Amino acid sequence: MKLPFGIGTVEDLYTNNEAGSAGYFPLGTGTLWHSGIHINCKNKTPFAPLVPGKVVMYRISKDYKKVTLPEKISQYAHNSIFSNLQNLYRISPKSTSVFELIDKNQTIDVSNSFIMFKHELSIDSLTPNKLIFYTLYMNLEPAADTDVYSGTKIEIGDSIHHVTQDNEFSLDMVGIPAINKGTRYFDFVLILDKKLSEYRETGKNKRALFHGVNKNVFLHQRKNNEKPVSEVIYVPYRTEYVINNICNEKEGLSKEIELKSFRIYLKTKGDLEGSDYKAQSQYKLLDYSTIWFSSRESLDLKADISTIDKKFQYLHKTLNDELEKIKGSKVTVEFVTDSGQPSIRIKNINNVMKFWVEDSEGRFAQNENHFNENVAKNTEVKIFHSNPFSYTYSQIDTSDDLRKQIKDINEKQYIDSSGNVFFEALGKYSSYFIKEKDKDLCYKNAYDWKEWFFDYIPEDSNSLLCGKTSITENLIEWYEKLRKNNDWLTLALAPWWTGPYLTWEFLKSIFGKNPPREETEQMQEEFRHCICTHPIEWDAAVSSEVAGKPDKKTDEETISSRYAEFLKSQADATDLWNGGLSKIFPSNSLHFVHPVYFINHLEKAGAFEFNPYKGTTYAGVKVVNNPGFAPYLGEGKGINGYAPMTWAFNGTTTASKTIHAGIDFAIDYNNVGKIPIHSLIQGFVIADIDYGDDNFGNCILVQSSFNPEHYYLVAHMSRDKPSLKKDDKVYPGKVVGYVGNTGKQYTVHYRKA
């Protein structure tokens, strides 16, 4: 049986039978355990897939499966299982690397039901490429305990069903999380059918999204000019033209037209050699006296070449010059009328004529391929020798504050009297204009994986786990001073002082072999990128060791070796992207992506369509094990420091549909007022407010010392323990308050925004 993306067989990749070494779940590791993330659920409630998709593989069994646990497992396997199962084992008296089952006949009920969806996300109508990925939902409630699958195409049984492309179907709901040892949860894995780097788009397939006005782009203001002088000309039937520019203003639509060629009819007698003319045959041009601009003699618009009518002046000069050039040469007859009148076309005339017209009614149309168009009939046209809706654009002083106000760029073109093209930059309070050449500098490609997945730092990352630049700044400057002073003794002791990883060699391994000293600021930013990639992976036990005693002069912290190791684990996780997924998995295998990381970046790229169905998509995200795309500090007892992310930024609350401003980190109710909240930034408290039982409850607002435009809200703190007050200093590792349940909330948590 083939996987939906055609990479080997199911048997080749993992075992899905009761006796297999990988246990019940696809992608298993250890005896019964798997890779992925756990999503805990309090209630027996159906949940929807993360995004709409088609079912490509599934197994929905009728009942739970009773499994006898292995009597002995390795220490590695013991560390990989859940804490409620770890308690069923004890260290073997014969070997500390072996764990024995306490109750030799211990059994557990497990679910082997799963569903895999295929998702296709179109970038936009102009781009044929699609992002294709698969989501796998495991540990689903068996059919006997739910009616979710009633009336669907799901076939109940212990067999794995591979759905062919012709028979793919959708499901509004994935199912209900199964219950295991008193805990209800489901397991989630996100899989790509090729490496992320292979999704990179080039050329016309790129979709640009507004990124911001950088320091190399200047904004302009404009003022209206007087409308230029106009005149009326004749444009003959079947005249070829192209549209060079379009200007869409409030006053109307103007276009710059360039005429390319004419079809003309010559006088029968004496103009061409011969008398019996045939289409597509060649004849010598002897003379030209009278010409017509129509396909029927009865509707001819006649122009005597010797007569200069003002409306034909440009035709007279152009045709006279062109016909004189080819006089005596053979020309091809394009068309012959019923009366024998021959026509020829004067083609490829350079710069026949350029002019501007007001054309809101669309007389001069342009097809989507930008080919030459033909005038539909002989017509009089009011023309202008410059744009009738032109403006003068003047550059203004473009400050950083003004740049930040620009939220998008209008796609309409605006053209000044000199033919320069401008685009409207939509500001917070008013509109400005930028030059055409600067437009690309304000956009980033939505699916350039290098920018969006490898280099991109979310705009709000400082509000998550950033603000650690002070650590790197001091370390790098410190090392620079030591090296300049040849203080090799201190350098030799540096690993002991700062931990075994935050050494100069370690920094060089991240930034390159020989990072120039003048690039210190860039190195700080890159290191900030490394330690801020996975904000939900914060370990409270590690962070509690950060503080030590602050320096009285700088209010900055010393760093512990364990915390240094944690930072390195995050940097290593980031580096995996730079080397591609082959660093983790061999080639020709599945490509895993950490779901939270993947979702975050797709949201930023504006390409993620959340599921419209009612029901839980994902909540209570808690990283338990994953294939390397987030730092991993152990499971079981070591997982206690992980805070479940119960609600994400900008998610709508189920009742009021209001936007949620921040990320909530939940704890057990019994720990109210016991767990300290450590600062991750350096700054000072600008406000301390207690909203009572409404809004954010007991909260503080902190302003960053490094970037005054960055503010940090810590909400729902306990009132039973002291918290910082206005004007208090804040530094990394300092306790700002304690986790509580104040304000408007439904469980014990604190919010970070």
CA pair distance 302, 292, nearest whole angstrom: 5
Return the percentage of the chain with pLDDT > 70, whole number: 48
Write the burial class of residue 278 (CB in 10 Å: 0-12 exposed, 13-18 middle, 19+ buried): exposed
* Predicted confidence (pLDDT) per residue in 671-711, tens digit: 677 777 776 567 888 888 887 777 778 888 888 776 666 66
Q: Provide the pLDDT confidence category of residue 219 given band limits of 50, 70 and 90.
A: very high
* Predicted confidence (pLDDT) per residue in 268-326, tens digit: 556 788 778 888 888 888 877 666 665 444 445 555 555 556 777 777 777 777 777 77
Other beta carbons within 10 Å of 199: 18
Can you tell me the mean pLDDT for 400-428?
Answer: 83
Residue 475 has pLDDT above 60, yes or no: no
Ordered by where they begin, the domains of the chain are 10-69+106-201+589-637 (no CATH), 208-225+390-445 (no CATH), 230-384 (no CATH), 464-578 (no CATH), 670-752 (2.70.70.10)
* Predicted confidence (pLDDT) per residue in 105-150, tens digit: 777 787 878 888 887 765 443 344 566 677 778 789 999 999 999 9
Residues paired with residue 292 on neighbouring β-strands, in sequence order:
265, 302
Q: Provide the pLDDT confidence category of residue 538 given band limits of 50, 70 and 90.
A: very low
CA trace torsion 575, 580, 584, 589 (10° rounding): 170
Q: Provide the pLDDT confidence category of residue 455 given band limits of 50, 70 and 90.
A: very low
pLDDT value, residue 346 = 66
The answer to whether 333 touches 281, Cβ cutoff 8 Å, is yes
* Predicted confidence (pLDDT) per residue in 222-250, tens digit: 887 778 888 888 787 777 888 888 887 77
Residue 435 has pLDDT above 80, yes or no: yes
pTM over 0.85: no
Residues paired with residue 47 on neighbouring β-strands, in sequence order:
175, 616
Residue of 745, 695, 748 lying closest to 720 (CA atoms): 748
Question: Which of 155-164, 316-325, 372-381, 616-625 comes out lowest in average pLDDT?
Answer: 616-625
The per-residue pLDDT of the chain, averaged, comes to: 62
The answer to whether 342 touches 336, Cβ cutoff 8 Å, is yes
Bigger pLDDT: 136 vs 200: 136
* Predicted confidence (pLDDT) per residue in 167-176, tens digit: 889 898 889 9
Q: Provide the pLDDT confidence category of residue 433 given band limits of 50, 70 and 90.
A: very high
Bigger pLDDT: 698 vs 502: 698
The answer to whether 331 touches 283, Cβ cutoff 8 Å, is yes
The answer to whether 265 touches 338, Cβ cutoff 8 Å, is no
Residue 420 has pLDDT above 90, yes or no: no
Can you tell me the mean pLDDT for 66-83?
Answer: 66
CA pair distance 320, 130, nearest whole angstrom: 55
* Predicted confidence (pLDDT) per residue in 572-601, tens digit: 333 333 333 233 333 333 444 444 445 544
